[in-house]
Amino acid sequence: MVRPLSTLLRAAAAPLTAAALPLLLVGCPPRAADEEPAPAVGATEAATAAATTAYEDVDPPKQPVPLAQQEGYAPPAELPAVSQETGWYDSQEALVQGVVQTATKGDADALRVFRVDQAEHQHLLWPHFDSSDPYLNIPHDFAYTNLGGGSKQGQRSLAKLLSGGTWTVVEIRFDKPDDVYPTFVLHQGTEVILAGEDGKRIETDLLGSVVEYGGRYKLLSYREP
């Protein structure tokens, strides 16, 4: 039986194709289904250059400018009055002694008068803090409320510590560097050594930081125990 020429050619080509296929696949490992195709030559360099250019076009972060350094700010015209009612004293020693004497009565709420109130904080101190920059949009009420939370706990702890005793201030020291501002100084890390009637000494750091403003002194806040 004579086969058509086309059938003979297909039969002859089949073995050649099967034999040649492994040779074509040598050095070409299969690619995972989720594998990204290799980037074209120069694509990585181009992407890096584009990202660098975009970063350079972004403005650097704005440095806070306290309210007191901005145009239109007017400082308070008067200094706080010195009195037991205002809680401002003319020396650190007088302030601490007033705090200690009040604490011996065990009334934590009565200790509130010795730290700056919200109006004093807002007008005397806040304008000099970086947080006062209007660009940051930090409400003063929020900042002062945060300050007061730990202070209330410090008042209660101090009243409990000194209640019913008779204490003499032996030494006042500060274990942190002063924080100096244009119109006031924060004496930080207040530590007070007290002596009782029996000569026993105790040390407390519950008085927090002391504000020195125009020769007057008041607590910024009590320290949270």
Reduce the secondary structure of 124-176 to three states and give it as a string: HHHHHCHHHCHHHCCCHHHHHHHHHHHHHHHHHHHHHHHCCCCCEEEEEEECC
pTM of the model: 0.70
In a domain? residue 170:
yes
In a domain? residue 76:
no
DSSP classification of residue 88: B
Examine the pLDDT at 71 and tell me if it is beyond 90.
no
Average pLDDT on 176-185 reads 95
As a whole number of angstroms, the distance between CA 59 and CA 38 comes to 34
In a domain? residue 197:
yes
Q: How many domains does the chain have?
A: 1
List Cβ<8 Å contacts ≥24 apart for 197-202: 197/165, 197/166, 201/170, 202/161
Examine the pLDDT at 23 and tell me if it is beyond 60.
no
List Cβ<8 Å contacts ≥24 apart for 89-93: 89/216, 89/217, 89/218, 90/215, 90/216, 90/217, 91/217, 92/172, 92/187, 92/210, 92/212, 92/217, 93/169, 93/172
As a whole number of angstroms, the distance between CA 172 and CA 191 comes to 6
In a domain? residue 145:
yes
* Residue range of the domain that includes 192: 82-221
pLDDT for the residue 22 = 43
In a domain? residue 168:
yes
- Report the chain's mean pLDDT, rounded to a whole number: 81
In a domain? residue 193:
yes
pLDDT for the residue 51 = 55
Q: Is 53 left (phi over 0), alpha (psi -120 to 50) or beta?
A: alpha
CA–centroid distance for 62 within its chain: 17
Average pLDDT on 100-123 reads 95
In a domain? residue 4:
no
Residue 213: Cβ within 10 Å count: 20
Instruction: Tell me the helix, strand and coil percentages in the chain, rounded to 5.
Output: 45, 15, 40
In a domain? residue 22:
no
Which of 11-15, 34-38, 98-102 has the weakest average pLDDT? 11-15
